[in-house]
A and B are shown apart, each in its own frame.
Chain A
């Protein structure tokens, strides 16, 4: 540890966060959601859309939900239909969509038979995810996995084929990680769009086909450059576990997956989000996908200096919940950001304090460091320097994933040369100051150390308060990002159902068993 932080205080924060997460998990374990059941459908091989363009998993699950049958889970209904008709899940979904079959008409088929009928399909779904994780391990061994801080850039043209051009260019210039930013408001769609897409707004739709197209392109570039280029997309929104499953099937390497982002920033119902994030993180965990949490977002609406402790408190909570979904530390990319007002004297010292503190407190986690955005203006020259300072803070405090700032942040989504210049900036700073962190100690009781300890103390107070009243009430009080959300407010609550006694989710069971066997975190 480089900053002489109070270790009992850190332990206390973890304990609080653990209790907070346990309370949340009690609620999570009692319910399922429409998107969780659609995920099960997808993993047993249901894909495609009906004649009106509605994804078949939605058609099937909506029908179950309308019939009040969500409580038992989609799997047993599909299983029963297989036993009764001998058809594949895909054929069953197609018939249901065409109005030729009633999915709840096979109640006479015994539950055990239904389970047995799905056994092979579940094994196949699991094997596909495992094979992808294995393939990633192979490629990482064969090619270079990159040196930390890994260089992470975004593409966001709206057209997946144009994104490929931008991504390959960035990878060749030195990017290790490519994130395809999603189209505005995709997170509020209660379905996942289908097929390759060429029109998006502020980003490109996350579809399984788009994942496949970009994965293939980046694999080509990986072989060409000798570096494994990681691919990122977003689990957040109303379809967290479905997108996690698609990412697992198409070998994404990282996914944005925050336990509270949807609640705070997209006004998605909290019961829905907590349930969805849990199953989606289990899938991420099993697929070897590193999650990225979204604490940086708090600082877009709150002041980064005043509210720094809420970032740390949230990191503890995100960590505790991630552990409960079976994610090991190595796959928990906690987020934070370089967003202090640059007009403040010693702002850089406070940034270093925050970044070093996160590194000290979460030593094994691949921290994801976000660049200055809020104080970026049309002055691209000053912005380029701010990004240089951000890169310096990143390399000297040992950050794992550096999301590069763009000099044109306040103007537009990045152009091809904005990204190129950002990569040149990062490569220069990372190289010129590569071992600066190892050479440096902080003055005991100095500005940096004092600031970090203060933030830790304040986070501890916040976590105690949250434990006292519960996370849901804390969110209602606006503890995070100054945004208040009610437990029964927000979108998607109508897609939450209490589980019945006979509830069955074969993938949750199987993944949970495997994660335990692999020695990952104990999964609730």
Chain B
């Protein structure tokens, strides 16, 4: 087998570097040969070669739908990619509780909410609730966590106020609705608010949701972001380890200052 060239990665169908891609889209055009040709040319404009419109459908008068195959002529240099990943060593429920007891010696307080107009509670409940998710207990079940779930449609202001009240170590925010990028503006506003309150250095700021990545979270000024399929144990382990790291950093800094 020919060797994969990491500097020039192309889509793979059944032969290395064949560049095969399938795509599907609609055009606001009456179904017919012109619409089909328009689809083909559009695919060429997108950077495909050997374009084949394999299926074309009439979507009722003024729209048409196409399934198209093509060979992608572009490539990506994977050696140049730097993807930030949540820094965490995997630990289960018992390991995390023991870790907190041994390394931190105090309970961790977290406050969570699904904010703004978003009414989806299932995601944050999966992480927080006693009954847990996918067979794992949620943070409320952890004896070394003091976990408070404020539910959905919580204004950013309320979340911040509750976090200050509870002297929270971490704030957990869920954003499920992403239409018109509401999650971005909502999360940005939360960061602004927390900075204005002067507590940014005192809390871990964590967001999650189906369209959230760690990279996006960092970009928005969060400490970490969790996407689809997150388990409570991921989040618990991260918070515990990060708080310990943070304490070390603080004591190191204090030592230096002295």
Question: Measuring CB to CB, which residues of chain A are less than 8 angstroms from any residue of chain B?
Answer: 165, 168-173, 184-185, 201-202, 265, 300-301, 374, 377-378, 410, 412-413, 415-417, 420
Which 10 pairs across A and B sit closest by C-beta, in order of nearness? A172-B60, A169-B60, A417-B65, A417-B26, A169-B59, A416-B26, A420-B59, A169-B63, A416-B63, A173-B60
Known: A168-B61, A377-B228. A417 touches B122 (CB 8 A): no
Q: A412 to chain B: closest CB distance in Å?
A: 8
Q: A436 to chain B: closest CB distance in Å?
A: 27
Q: A373 to chain B: closest CB distance in Å?
A: 11
B210 at the A interface (CB under 8 A): yes
B117 at the A interface (CB under 8 A): yes
Interchain CA distance A173-B64 in the complex, whole Å: 12
- A378 CB contact (under 8 Å) in B25, B117, B179, B228: B228
Asked if A171 and B24 make an inter-chain contact with CB atoms under 8 angstroms apart, the answer reads no
Asked if B122 and A300 make an inter-chain contact with CB atoms under 8 angstroms apart, the answer reads yes
Q: A167 to chain B: closest CB distance in Å?
A: 10
Chain B residues in 8 Å Cβ range of A413: 179
Chain A residues in 8 Å Cβ range of B119: 265
Chain B residues in 8 Å Cβ range of A169: 59-63
Interchain CA distance A323-B128 in the complex, whole Å: 41
User: Considering the complex, which residues of chain B in the window 171-218 have a beta carbon less than 8 Å from any beta carbon of chain A?
Assistant: 177, 179-180, 210
Asked if A201 and B180 make an inter-chain contact with CB atoms under 8 angstroms apart, the answer reads yes
Asked if A165 and B62 make an inter-chain contact with CB atoms under 8 angstroms apart, the answer reads yes
Interchain CA distance A492-B248 in the complex, whole Å: 52
Interchain CA distance A265-B24 in the complex, whole Å: 36
Chain B residues in 8 Å Cβ range of A374: 122
Asked if A168 and B60 make an inter-chain contact with CB atoms under 8 angstroms apart, the answer reads yes
B121 at the A interface (CB under 8 A): yes
A-B contact pairs, 14 of them (CB 8 A): A168-B61, A169-B62, A173-B60, A185-B117, A201-B117, A202-B179, A300-B122, A301-B125, A410-B210, A412-B179, A417-B57, A417-B65, A420-B57, A420-B59
Chain A residues in 8 Å Cβ range of B125: 301
Chain A residues in 8 Å Cβ range of B210: 378, 410
Residue of B nearest to A378 (CB): B228
Asked if A417 and B121 make an inter-chain contact with CB atoms under 8 angstroms apart, the answer reads no
Interchain CA distance A416-B65 in the complex, whole Å: 9
Chain A residues in 8 Å Cβ range of B228: 377-378
Interchain CA distance A377-B229 in the complex, whole Å: 10
Q: B144 to chain A: closest CB distance in Å?
A: 26
Asked if B26 and A415 make an inter-chain contact with CB atoms under 8 angstroms apart, the answer reads yes
- A301 CB contact (under 8 Å) in B57, B63, B122, B180: B122
Chain B residues in 8 Å Cβ range of A185: 117
Interchain CA distance A377-B65 in the complex, whole Å: 23
Interchain CA distance A265-B151 in the complex, whole Å: 12
Interchain CA distance A416-B121 in the complex, whole Å: 28
Asked if B24 and A417 make an inter-chain contact with CB atoms under 8 angstroms apart, the answer reads yes
Chain A residues in 8 Å Cβ range of B26: 415-417
Chain B residues in 8 Å Cβ range of A416: 26, 59, 63, 65
Q: B181 to chain A: closest CB distance in Å?
A: 12
Q: B193 to chain A: closest CB distance in Å?
A: 22
Chain B residues in 8 Å Cβ range of A265: 119
Chain A residues in 8 Å Cβ range of B59: 169, 172-173, 416-417, 420
User: Considering the complex, which residues of chain B in the window 121-171 have a beta carbon less than 8 Å from any beta carbon of chain A?
Assistant: 121-122, 125
Interchain CA distance A410-B178 in the complex, whole Å: 11
- A171 CB contact (under 8 Å) in B60, B177, B180: B60
Chain B residues in 8 Å Cβ range of A410: 210
Interchain CA distance A77-B234 in the complex, whole Å: 63
Chain A residues in 8 Å Cβ range of B177: 184, 202
Q: Digitize B217-248: 1 where CB-to-A-CB distance is under 8 Å, 0 elsewhere.
A: 00000000000100000000000000000000
Given contacts A169-B63, A301-B122, A415-B26, 14 further A-B contacts (CB under 8 A): A168-B60, A169-B61, A169-B62, A172-B59, A173-B59, A184-B177, A185-B117, A201-B180, A265-B119, A300-B122, A301-B121, A417-B65, A420-B57, A420-B59
Asked if B180 and A417 make an inter-chain contact with CB atoms under 8 angstroms apart, the answer reads no
Chain B residues in 8 Å Cβ range of A415: 26
Residue of A nearest to B66 (CB): A417
Interchain CA distance A2-B57 in the complex, whole Å: 40
Interchain CA distance A92-B122 in the complex, whole Å: 48
User: Considering the complex, which residues of chain B in the window 103-123 have a beta carbon less than 8 Å from any beta carbon of chain A?
Assistant: 117, 119, 121-122
Interchain CA distance A374-B123 in the complex, whole Å: 11
Residue of A nearest to B179 (CB): A202
Chain A residues in 8 Å Cβ range of B179: 201-202, 412-413
Which of A171, A184, A300 has the most B CB atoms < 10 Å from its CB? A184
Q: A380 to chain B: closest CB distance in Å?
A: 10
Interchain CA distance A195-B125 in the complex, whole Å: 39
Chain A residues in 8 Å Cβ range of B122: 300-301, 374
Interchain CA distance A410-B123 in the complex, whole Å: 13
Q: B31 to chain A: closest CB distance in Å?
A: 11
Chain A residues in 8 Å Cβ range of B62: 165, 169
Interchain CA distance A184-B120 in the complex, whole Å: 12
Residue of A nearest to B64 (CB): A417
Chain B residues in 8 Å Cβ range of A171: 60
Known: A300-B122, A378-B228, A417-B25. A172 touches B61 (CB 8 A): yes
Interchain CA distance A323-B25 in the complex, whole Å: 46
Which of A165, A265, A300 has the most B CB atoms < 10 Å from its CB? A165
Q: A153 to chain B: closest CB distance in Å?
A: 12
Interchain CA distance A378-B179 in the complex, whole Å: 16
Chain A residues in 8 Å Cβ range of B57: 417, 420
Chain A residues in 8 Å Cβ range of B121: 301
Chain B residues in 8 Å Cβ range of A412: 179
Interchain CA distance A55-B62 in the complex, whole Å: 37
Interchain CA distance A95-B26 in the complex, whole Å: 51
Q: B71 to chain A: closest CB distance in Å?
A: 21
Q: B89 to chain A: closest CB distance in Å?
A: 27
Chain B residues in 8 Å Cβ range of A420: 57, 59, 65
Residue of A nearest to B211 (CB): A411
Interchain CA distance A265-B120 in the complex, whole Å: 10
Q: Digitize B45-66: 1 where CB-to-A-CB distance is under 8 Å, 0 elsewhere.
A: 0000000000001011111010
Q: B73 to chain A: closest CB distance in Å?
A: 25
Q: B28 to chain A: closest CB distance in Å?
A: 9
User: Considering the complex, which residues of chain B in the window 1-54 have a beta carbon less than 8 Å from any beta carbon of chain A?
Assistant: 24-26
Residue of A nearest to B25 (CB): A417
Interchain CA distance A68-B155 in the complex, whole Å: 33
Residue of A nearest to B177 (CB): A202
Q: A382 to chain B: closest CB distance in Å?
A: 14
Interchain CA distance A301-B25 in the complex, whole Å: 33
